[in-house]
Amino acid sequence: MIYILAFIAVVIIACTFLGRISIKLGVPMLVVFIILGMLVGEDGPIPGMRIPFENFEIAEQVSTVCLIFIMFYGGFGTNWEHAKKQAVKAGLLSSVGVIITAGLVGLFCHFVLKLQLFEGLLLGAVIASTDAATVFFILRSKKLNLKMGTAPMLELESGSNDPWSYMLTIIMLQVMQMQGAVGDGSVAEIFAELVLRQVLFGVGFGAIISVLSVRLFKKISAAGITSILMVAIALLAYALPSMFEGNGFLSVYIVGIVLGNARINSEEKIASVHFFDGVTNLLQIALFFLLGLLSTPREIPAVIGTSILVMLFLTLIARPIAVAIILTPFKAPFRQQLIVNIAGFRGAASIAFAIIIQLASVTTNNDVFHIVFCIVLLSIIVQGTLLPYLSKELKMVDDRDDVMKTFSDYQSETDLQFVSAEVTEDHPWANKLVKKVVFPPDIRAVMILRGDEKVIPKGDTQILAGDVLILVGNEYLDERKIDLTELRIDSDHYACGKKLSDIRFLRNALVVLIKRTTKKGVRTLVPNGNIVITDNDVLVLAMAEKTKTA
């Protein structure tokens, strides 16, 4: 037992260290962790460090638990206010897109690669979803703030399509198991019944658990138990629908989205974000390493040809067709569709679903697990490398890099808060020395941004018009909460085109800042009565405890 604990500690440290290196090199962490698992597996290069591991049952149980919390946090971390404009497109990509992709890959495997039809469709179902962890890593590590709402659409799609892939995988396995017991005419009926059961129970239990959970958290405010309750709720959200052959992963994702966007205790919610962020990172390391450990590299040469062909068809034909069918009616330009297609990384969920096939009582003529394993590695390495390059070449990158991110780590670890203040020509601080400026109590200027230059403010430093001052002060800590909410304005909103002073939004509410999208990126404006609200503005409102509409 002591040696096992020591080994686990060494693996986690190694994965963490290699993960930091992968960020600098731009290599997705998934690849690094899987390769590390392969290196210490039964075919590893160091004889004394080989770990023979072929227990698919344990691997399936571990991967299920990992995916429960990864999918829950994927929903929990989704900002619905920011993503809802892309929700319809993302929802269609994650559902209809998965079905189209799986079907096309299945037909290709049957007619071109000569796999049995149901086996080909099963393989298509397993690899039809995209990997949220890899999508998040590439977009954030490369700072790919994509235009036209592409980034939130990809994050929402990748976070919600695994349940659909899982559903198709389970359904195809059950159809294959029943194939010999029923006539061909009954297969379609069985398929329809299984789809209906998966969706109804998955959505139904997800909705019920979400409503009850929000009510529970509004009544319970004891510090330290919110994260614990959420762990139990996530497990329950998966277990209950699964008992009725429903889609547990779909239920988990729905509960995650609802709780992540519910108005519950803000401090407890922030603590839960930090908790699940750490837990899911650890679970991803465990899952990726386990999948690499479970693979047998000597089996890969036998399936590499099939894997390459399927991966090429998936990337160049199947997913582009699915993306075009769904996004063309929304008049999405070709360059956006191309980025959405390239960002369709296959990931750990696909390998985890392939483990289910190994344990199912169905006979396949091909090594589905290692075919999927190779497809995932090829997809992440090739597409992960191409996405940043193509995004810049197609001019899809919207540069919204914010210097405040530099301070975010310290802000989260201390009671300090950093804010920025732009000095205009008529600002009272313009052309004054820092020592002559009367700042509010306990507020200090820590940096001046002057064009591309960063100036450390000293007493004799002159503040010029056009400077952006970074100020630091103590965080507001009080039992009386200040609730902030976002209101996105579109061209149809009654406030669009009006002065802020002419609008009555809510009683007991105040617009504290405005986020405005411009050609140069997103600007944060301090509101005043003369500011005219424009299309796509995001108004941040300070809310009193009891707020009534005007």
CATH assignment of the domain containing 347: 1.20.1530.20
Are residues 230 and 317 located together in one domain of the fold?
yes
Transcribe 406-462 into DSSP letters. Answer: GGHHHHHHSSEEEEEEE--TT-TTTT-BGGG--PPTT-EEEEEEETTEEE---TTPB
Of 474, 508, 525, which marks where a domain is finished? 474
Residue 118, pLDDT above cutoff 70: yes
pLDDT in tens, 301-317: 999 999 999 999 999 99
Is this structure's pTM higher than 0.75? no
Of 370, 393, 416, which marks where a domain is finished? 393
CB of 104 closer than 8 Å to CB of 321: yes
Are residues 469 and 493 located together in one domain of the fold?
no
Query: 52 in a domain, yes or no?
Result: no
Are residues 229 and 276 located together in one domain of the fold?
yes
When mean pLDDT is compared across 156-165, 352-361, 478-487, the lowest value belongs to: 478-487
Are residues 359 and 429 located together in one domain of the fold?
no
Mean pLDDT of 152-163: 84
pLDDT at 49: 66
Angstrom distance (rounded) from CA 550 to CA 546: 13
Are residues 172 and 99 located together in one domain of the fold?
yes
Question: How does DSSP classify residue 128?
Answer: S
Query: 55 in a domain, yes or no?
Result: no
Query: 433 in a domain, yes or no?
Result: yes
Angstrom distance (rounded) from CA 223 to CA 309: 54
pLDDT at 305: 93
pLDDT band at 27; cut points 50, 70, 90: low
Joined together, the tokens standing for residue 283 give 């679970």
Residue 98, pLDDT above cutoff 80: yes
pLDDT at 239: 94
Report angle CA 523, 526, 532 to the nearest 5 degrees.
Answer: 80
Are residues 518 and 389 located together in one domain of the fold?
no
pLDDT in tens, 257-286: 888 888 776 666 777 777 887 888 788 888
Of 359, 393, 427, which marks where a domain is finished? 393
**Percent of the chain residues past pLDDT 90, beyond the cut:** 18
pLDDT at 426: 84
Residues sharing a CB contact under 8 Å with residue 403, sequence separation 6 or more, in sequence order: 420, 449, 470
pLDDT at 413: 41
Are residues 156 and 133 located together in one domain of the fold?
yes
Query: 230 in a domain, yes or no?
Result: yes
Are residues 100 and 147 located together in one domain of the fold?
yes
pLDDT in tens, 405-457: 334 333 444 456 777 788 888 888 888 898 888 888 778 888 888 887 888 88
Query: 398 in a domain, yes or no?
Result: no
pLDDT in tens, 9-19: 877 787 777 76
Are residues 326 and 178 located together in one domain of the fold?
yes
pLDDT in tens, 358-408: 888 777 888 888 999 999 888 888 888 788 888 888 888 765 444 333 343
Are residues 111 and 247 located together in one domain of the fold?
yes
Query: 49 in a domain, yes or no?
Result: no
CATH assignment of the domain containing 514: 3.30.70.1450
What domain count does the chain have? 3
Are residues 207 and 340 located together in one domain of the fold?
yes
Mean pLDDT of 45-70: 81
pLDDT at 547: 46
* Residue 67 CB neighbour total at 10 angstroms: 24
Sheet holding 538-543, edge to edge: 483-488, 538-543, 509-518, 521-525
CB of 118 closer than 8 Å to CB of 357: no
Query: 266 in a domain, yes or no?
Result: yes
Query: 435 in a domain, yes or no?
Result: yes
Mean pLDDT of 188-213: 85
Alpha-carbon distances, residue 292 vs 193, 288, 310, 311, 371 (angstroms): 36, 6, 21, 19, 13
Are residues 389 and 419 located together in one domain of the fold?
no
254 closest CA partner among 121, 399, 411, 94 = 94
Look up the domain containing 210 and give its range: 2-42+61-294+301-393
Residue 109, pLDDT above cutoff 80: yes
